[in-house]
Amino acid sequence: MLQKTFISVVIPCFNDGEYLPETISRLMKQTYPHFEIIVVNDGSTDLHTLEVLTQISAQGVTVLHKENGRMSSARNYGVKHAKGSIIAALDADDYYENSFFEKAIERFSNKPEVAVVTSHIQLFGDFNKVARPRGGNEFNFLFNSECPACAMVRKSCWDEVGGYDENMKMGYEDWEFYIRITKKGWIVEVIPEKLLFYRQTQSSTHKNDTIPNRQAIINYIVDKHSDWYLANLKKLIASKQVLYTESRVSLPVIFRMILNRIRKKYT
């Protein structure tokens, strides 16, 4: 039954004491009440953060402590201790709109083929923007991620694909995670409402780690899934579907670039 579905909210925290109380407070306002909160202290060194972690632990939030291993490691560690059949991944400085859990559980209940539920995203903080991920099947994840890391995932699916790749420490680990999920035939569902609020700061991983290391990260993803990339690009070309990137590069050009990468013609 719908009301028996239990959610485990897993929140990695590394020196995020400034925002964590607000995130916890907003979670408590969810209209769907059947959930636990697990905060994973990923080796925080900030004294204020450590004080906040002690305070929320006293309030009934489960706080786990581990050495710093970055985001993939922290998410996996929290999921290992989760009691719920649904994992709600959330960053320590972001939050969900109050009805998100209720609406997402309904999607999971009605669509057994759906492994992940997300929504449109309101970016706020240093700049404001609305993002509208497409979700979908594996084809939508060939060239970029169409789902944020902060999303709800069936725990059975999380376990089936082995969680996040802990070798990925500089970003795009969520993209690679969703590639593995959709490769198995699962679908990512997007609720067309702004239900995730994603804070933009100068200290974000995306700004400081992902963008400077983008080429190396993409090389890692393509090398890891080279057979899958090649097979799906062949399918797209055979069906005469032409996709374009922002620079208006056609699919056959992308195909040749990735094929050269797989054959090690350039690095």
pLDDT at 202: 72
Is the confidence at residue 157, as pLDDT, over 60?
Answer: yes
Residue 122 has pLDDT above 90, yes or no: yes
Four-point Cα dihedral 222, 212, 266, 177, nearest 10: 0
Q: Tokens at residue 169, please?
A: 């420490």
With H, G, I as helix, E, B as strand and everything else as coil, classify residue 47. Answer: helix
* pLDDT given at position 263: 63
Q: Round to whole Å and give the CA distance between 82 and 96.
A: 19
Q: What pLDDT is recorded for position 30?
A: 98
248 belongs to a structural domain: no
pLDDT at 247: 47
Nearest to residue 203, comparing CAs of 73, 75, 12, 14? 14
- Mean pLDDT throughout 165-187? 95
**Lowest mean pLDDT segment, chosen from 32-36, 84-88, 209-213:** 209-213
Element (DSSP H or E) covering residue 227: helix 226-238
pLDDT of residue 262: 63
Is 65 inside any structural domain?
A: yes
Count: domains in the chain: 1
Of the listed ranges 8-17, 29-38, 220-229, 251-260, the least confidently predicted one is 251-260
Query: Is residue 234 one of the residues assigned to a domain?
Result: no
**94 assigned to some structural domain:** yes
Q: Is residue 240 part of a domain?
A: no
In the predicted structure, residue 40 carries a pLDDT above the cut 50: yes
CATH code where residue 50 lies? 3.90.550.10
Reported pTM: 0.86
267 pLDDT exceeds 60?
no
Q: What domain range is 48 assigned to?
A: 2-205
Does the pLDDT value for residue 96 go beyond 90?
yes
Residues in CB range of 8: below 8 A, 6 or more apart = 35, 36, 38, 78, 79, 82, 83, 84, 86, 87, 88, 155
**pLDDT at position 246 over 50:** no
Q: Do the domain assignments include residue 259?
A: no
Average of per-residue pLDDT values in the chain: 89
Would you say residue 210 has pLDDT above 90?
Answer: no
47-95 per-position pLDDT tens digit: 999 999 999 999 999 999 999 999 999 999 999 999 999 999 999 999 9
pLDDT-derived band of residue 126, with 50, 70 and 90 as boundaries?
A: confident
Q: How does residue 251 score in pLDDT terms, banded at 50, 70 and 90?
A: low
Mean pLDDT calculated for residue range 185-203: 92
Phi and psi at 240, nearest 5°, equal: 60, 35
With bands split at pLDDT 50, 70 and 90, how would you rate the model's confidence at 234? Answer: confident
Specify if 235 maps to a domain: no
Query: Are the CB atoms for 233 and 128 separated by under 8 Å?
Result: no
Is residue 49 in some structural domain? yes
